[in-house]
């Protein structure tokens, strides 16, 4: 059980740090592209056109991706917590974490709907 606790105490902060750092790097890259290459941008790139925008070096695509990564970080954190609590066989906190995940998913669905 201590191995499972190690997973939870190490994985959750690692997920948060990795998500925020990756988001920061992508956003800085997008801002550098705005400042150096393309000038200001005022439009977001739809997810469906994100890959093409990134390939074309569009600053708005990098800014959009950075924000998407930042917004997905809490989802990954909660999923990591669910896995960790399940490995510990702590069913109460597994259920609570699943409830939080459902709330996040519903909020996301309402936000894009």
50-90 tens-digit pLDDT? 999 999 989 999 999 999 999 999 999 999 999 999 999 99
In angstroms, what CA-CA distances link 34 with 23, 29, 111? 16, 9, 28
**pLDDT-based confidence at 39, cuts 50/70/90?**
confident
Q: What letter would DSSP give residue 23?
A: H
Whole-number average pLDDT of the chain: 89
pLDDT of residue 41: 73
SS3 call for 99: helix
Q: How confident is the model at residue 37, as a pLDDT?
A: 80
Angle at 25 (CA atoms; ends 8, 51), nearest 5 degrees: 100
Q: Is the pLDDT at 2 greater than 60, yes or no?
A: no
Residues 6+ apart with CB under 8 A from 41: 34, 58, 59, 60, 63
pTM of the predicted protein model: 0.82
For residue 101, give its domain range. 2-112
Percentage of residues in the chain having pLDDT higher than 70: 94
Given a contact cutoff of 8 angstroms between Cβ atoms, the answer to whether 4 and 80 are in contact is: no
- 79's tokens: 């999923």
């Amino acid at each position: 059980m201590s191995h499972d606790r190690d997973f939870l105490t190490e994985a959750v902060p690692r997920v948060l740090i990795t998500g925020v750092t990756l988001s920061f790097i992508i956003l800085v890259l997008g801002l550098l592209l705005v400042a150096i290459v393309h000038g200001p941008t005022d439009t977001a790139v739809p997810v469906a056109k994100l890959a093409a925008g990134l390939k074309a070096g569009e600053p708005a695509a990098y800014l959009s991706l950075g924000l998407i990564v930042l917004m997905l970080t809490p989802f990954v954190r909660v999923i990591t917590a669910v896995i960790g609590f399940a490995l510990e066989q702590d069913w109460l906190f597994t259920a609570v974490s699943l409830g939080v995940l459902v709330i996040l998913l519903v909020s996301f669905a309402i936000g894009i709907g």
